[in-house]
A and B are shown apart, each in its own frame.
Chain A
Amino acid sequence: MKVYINSTSSISPQQSFDKEEYLKDWASHEGTYLKAQEPIYKDIINPRLLRRMSRIIKMGVATSLTALKEAGVEKPGAIIVGTGLGCIQDTEKFLSDIVTSEEGILSPTAFIQSTHNTVAGQIALLIGCNEDNFTYVNRGHSFENALMDGVLRIKEGSNNILVAGADEMTDEVAAIIKAMDYDQVDVWGEGASAFVLSVEGSETSVELVGTRSLNNLSEEEVSGEAIEFLSHHNLTSEDIDVVIVGMNKEEDSYIQAIKAVIPDTTLVNFKRVTGEFLTAVAFGYQLGVNALLTQSINDHLIIDKGEKTSFKKILVYNHYFGFNHSFGLLSK
């Protein structure tokens, strides 16, 4: 059974929400992390509800509603969201209220909205969807868990599954991460991407051929798993036209391991757009779908230029701190 991505929507630190302007003007960023370029939400979300929403909710809801609209789906068969840190802005607010009031009288609003499943719950509430509603919070595999669940649901007989990945950054969290002093990452970021998975495709669909998530691999194992993943789908490295990867640093040994076994293709680093965060890979998939549909990729993201000028098959590879690794295969 085939699984099609029938629509996508992304909010990222570059212009990606408006597809006419997709990655057109390259924005340079100041500050400690790459901040998302958010659309004018009142055109997408009821302004009365908008006021209470934190940024992750706005980004998650706006991309989800847009993807549903583009796919012509009113009520999805399920709403599946992946988020690494969840509603961190409200979590922080409630924590700091607890500290400053010394556990005194507190407003519950931030607590209510701090729950990890707020984004998925809000989408269900806004569109009145009583179907299955799941939220995955599995570190560098939060989006991968959600995507795998979406694919499984198609195989179980559901249709039009909304799958989204969303994470927000705040100045305070950025400061904490900086103080944690990791040298594995050049720059952190944030954003949200949403997808509608369906059992039937059209001209504007891309097939999601497969996904695979693995933990705790060496560079050598990553090379082997990449080839194994392709051969599981009856493909070799020569069938791959573009490899979209998430590089944590410009020198990333895991990406070298991928390059070693898939040498002559166009290599693209989606984290030049997103920076690093726990669901950044969702944008990697969105970029892949966009590349297959438009047959173009922004030059800012290209690490190596391959010889092929038309793209049919794209491999997506990402890892988080060398622990969470994932592969995905897109085909047009």
Chain B
Amino acid sequence: MSKVYITGFGIVSSLGVGVELNLASLKGFKSGISMPSFLQTSHKELPVGELKFSNEELGEKLRIKKCQSVSRTALLGLLAAEEALEMASLQESDLKRAALINGTSVGGMDVSELAYPSVLNNSLKEYRNAFENHDCGAISQYMARHLKIHGHIETISTACSSSANSIMNAGRLIRAGMADKVLAGGTDALSIFTLNGFGALKILDPQHCKPFDATRKGLNLGEGAAFLVLESERSVEERGAPVLGELVGYGNCNDAYHQTASSPDGLGAYLAMGKALKIANLLPQEVDYINAHGTGTQNNDMSESKAIKKLFSDDIPVYSSTKAYTGHALGAAGAIEAVYSLLSIREQVVFPNLNVEAPMDILPDPITKVQPAKIQKVLSNSLGFGGNSTSLIFSSAS
């Protein structure tokens, strides 16, 4: 069975466009949480992880001229994807048979939600521009066309685990010999729809979120995108491509407890982590760092802590959540944190968990400093609505 190599990655988050800006913010304790300036919500008092560029500015970076009706989700996705392809030195000819696997929670909702009031009062003139890219699959199709990717396309929408599942599927396709080169990740833009949705669920922290703090009040919504280039051994050898890391394990399962809440004992996260370790053929103590899902909600952090405790027992690896930097970018979160996991391996540091004053008492305290450490194996969790739980394990290049 082929190994699954990572030869490139790209990222856009509220920390900025590109790997290096994200890394500098992570190392510099610089959170990307702010008040919304581009999202056209009336809730300007709610902190979010917003990338401070307008759609027009994002379009310029991508050399897209007319982007009024292009979803911000597609623009963010393309910026991350272009960086990943460039890092992997993939040429247009390489992309002929490459696959694209994209994860997103609400796709082109940012465009359709702005047109919807005019539908309700019968004043909308141009329906096609407003709605033709509403569906999640439209984002992937737009991206594939722009990137000239001609191979297999998949779009996954499993709420907050969407892009972790994209990366998992890239691993499955490569191991099965069904793909050689896969661009996999996910993208989600802030939307009025999701901001109000999480608001209605009463799980938004009115201040900066505090993952793994006993007094945590909820999450901050974020936006962004990240994509990895994953390749088979054969493809890497043929191209002589430098290997940046390896996807060694993945596990998916359903918590089957509640439509939105995680089970109190964290069964879903426990099973997903266990499956990922099994695929990776690793023992729990071989994990050097856990990039936790750690959203900052009472429910998630409790449930995830219990799952980690149950699996790792008294030998708990260092862990942190980076959500206080980026906010929770929903469908993109898993891929964003996959990039942070790979950076943790590259830089041999653990990124801090911001805003912890009174740590929870289930696990040892999360890492709150930029801590140098020997990092070879990183486990990254993504847990979502609908009970969807996914764990990925990345390894240094062997």
Residues of A with Cβ closer than 8 Å to B? Answer: 79, 84-86, 91, 94-96, 98-100, 102-103, 105-108, 111-118, 120-122, 124-125, 128-142, 145, 149, 152, 155-156, 172, 176, 179-181, 213, 215-216, 278, 323
The docked-state distance in angstroms from the alpha carbon of A279 to that of B120 is 27
The answer to whether B256 touches A125, judged by C-beta atoms less than 8 angstroms apart, is yes
Q: Min CB distance, B294 to chain A, in Å?
A: 21
B234 in the interface (beta carbon within 8 A): no
The answer to whether A152 touches B156, judged by C-beta atoms less than 8 angstroms apart, is no
The answer to whether A133 touches B135, judged by C-beta atoms less than 8 angstroms apart, is no
**Nearest A residue to B154 by beta-carbon distance?**
A145
The docked-state distance in angstroms from the alpha carbon of A106 to that of B257 is 24
Partner of A106, one of B144, B169, B173, B196: B196
The docked-state distance in angstroms from the alpha carbon of A129 to that of B42 is 40
Chain A residues with Cβ below 8 Å from B37 are none
B387 in the interface (beta carbon within 8 A): yes
B136 in the interface (beta carbon within 8 A): yes
Question: Could you mark each residue 276-294 of chain B with 1 if its beta carbon is under 8 Å from any beta carbon of chain A, else 0?
Answer: 0000000000000000000
Q: Min CB distance, B135 to chain A, in Å?
A: 6
Chain B residues with Cβ below 8 Å from A134 are 156, 158, 165, 252
Partner of A133, one of B42, B176, B252, B259: B252
The answer to whether B259 touches A141, judged by C-beta atoms less than 8 angstroms apart, is no
Chain B residues with Cβ below 8 Å from A94 are 193, 196-197
The answer to whether A98 touches B192, judged by C-beta atoms less than 8 angstroms apart, is yes
7 contacts between A and B (CB under 8 A): A86-B157, A94-B197, A116-B159, A130-B271, A131-B253, A137-B137, A149-B169
Chain B residues with Cβ below 8 Å from A121 are 254, 259, 385-388
Chain B residues with Cβ below 8 Å from A105 are 200
B199 in the interface (beta carbon within 8 A): yes
**Nearest B residue to A172 by beta-carbon distance?**
B119
Partner of B116, one of A95, A133, A139, A278: A95
Chain A residues with Cβ below 8 Å from B116 are 95-96, 99
Max chain B C-beta neighbours (<10 A), residue from A121, A142, A213, A278: A121
Question: Could you mark each residue 253-269 of chain B with 1 if its beta carbon is under 8 Å from any beta carbon of chain A, else 0?
Answer: 11111111000000110
Partner of A141, one of B105, B153, B258, B388: B153
A125-B259, A215-B150 known; A106 and B156 CB under 8 Å? Answer: no
The answer to whether A176 touches B157, judged by C-beta atoms less than 8 angstroms apart, is no
Partner of A111, one of B131, B173, B201: B201
**Nearest A residue to B192 by beta-carbon distance?**
A98
Within 8 A of A (CB), among B196-222: 196-197, 199-202
The answer to whether A138 touches B201, judged by C-beta atoms less than 8 angstroms apart, is no
The answer to whether B259 touches A112, judged by C-beta atoms less than 8 angstroms apart, is yes
Partner of A138, one of B124, B140, B254, B385: B140
B28 in the interface (beta carbon within 8 A): no
The docked-state distance in angstroms from the alpha carbon of A140 to that of B136 is 11
The answer to whether A124 touches B136, judged by C-beta atoms less than 8 angstroms apart, is no
